[in-house]
Amino acid sequence: MTGLPVEAVVDAASVREVLPVATVLGPAVLSYVSPEGFRPVAASSTVEQLPGHHPALRSLEKAAGHEDAAEASLDEITSPAFVVREHGKVVAAAGYQAWRRWTAHISVLTAPDVRGRGLARVTGSATVAHALAAGLLPQWRARRPASRRVAAAWGFEELGAQLSIEIA
């Protein structure tokens, strides 16, 4: 990849020209927020905490579908899950995976039938606040414009890009 211009290392087609790529994830934008830049979202719904391995999270993942559940990776969080319930069922959840040193990789998932109501912003805001209180640097990885808008609402700043590949 040494012959590629810097901007091309996050372009799947360019990387495929120089490496035997089996699968690609991304590209995605990487964003971060500091305690000073964080803009918490007022809770419009009651947010509760559940253990990250709680069965209700697996039910939400099933309702959201494999692709969205895989993107959110709630099954990998090491923090508590911050959830919103409707009629006893978890319809939105967020948490983070604490990575080496001081990074908290944020994960958010909302059931398809309740999207667009701000529940991702509410659960994610509680998650970001928890990570900051623990002295961690929250990280947001986004591919879709809607996901980037959620991060911007919390005060995240886009600082880089990522392309994940698996070599054939």
| 60 contacts 111 by C-beta, under 8 angstroms | yes
Rounded Cα–Cα distance for residues 35 and 124 (Å): 15
**Tell me: the pLDDT tens digits for 62-72?**
999 999 999 89
What CATH number does the domain located at 28-161 have? 3.40.630.30
Domain residue ranges of the chain, discontinuous segments joined by +: 28-161
- Among 29-33, 103-107, 121-125, 158-162, the range scoring the smallest mean pLDDT is 158-162
| 92 contacts 115 by C-beta, under 8 angstroms | no
| pTM for this entry | 0.86
Other CB atoms closer than 10 Å to residue 47's CB: what's the count? 19
**Tell me: the pLDDT tens digits for 4-62?**
888 788 778 888 888 888 887 778 899 999 999 999 998 777 999 999 999 999 999 99
Measured CA distances, 92 to 69, 71, 83, 157 (Å)? 12, 14, 6, 24
Q: What is the pLDDT of residue 2?
A: 81
pLDDT band, residue 166 (cuts 50/70/90) = confident
Sign of CA dihedral 11, 112, 106, 77: negative
Q: What is the pLDDT of residue 108?
A: 96
Q: How buried is residue 96: exposed, middle or buried, by Cβ count under 10 Å (0-12/13-18/19+)?
A: buried
Rounded Cα–Cα distance for residues 63 and 152 (Å): 26
